[in-house]
Amino acid sequence: MNREKVAFAFFIVLALTVNFGFFMGDIDNPEHHNVYEFFAALVVSMIATVLKFGDRTHIGAVLLATSLVADLQLVAAAFVWGYAEQISGSGMTPSVMSSIVSLSAGALLANLTSVILLMVETIQLRR
- Residues 57-112 have pLDDT tens digits of 888 899 999 999 999 999 999 999 999 999 988 889 999 999 999 999 999 999 99
Instruction: Give me the number of domains the chain comprises.
Output: 1
pLDDT band at 126 (very low <50, low <70, confident <90, very high): low
Tell me which H or E stretch contains 82: helix 58-82
Q: What is the residue range of 67's domain?
A: 3-126
**CA triplet 65, 23, 61: central angle to 5 degrees?**
10
Which are the contacts of 15, defined by CB distance < 8 A and separation ≥ 6?
41, 44, 45, 47, 48, 67, 70, 111, 114
Mean pLDDT comparison of 26-30, 50-54, 111-115, highest-scoring range: 111-115
Average pLDDT value for residue range 23-41? 93
Asked if the model's pLDDT at residue 8 lies above 80, the reply is: yes
- In angstroms, rounded to a whole number, what is the distance separating the alpha carbons of residues 48 and 126? 24
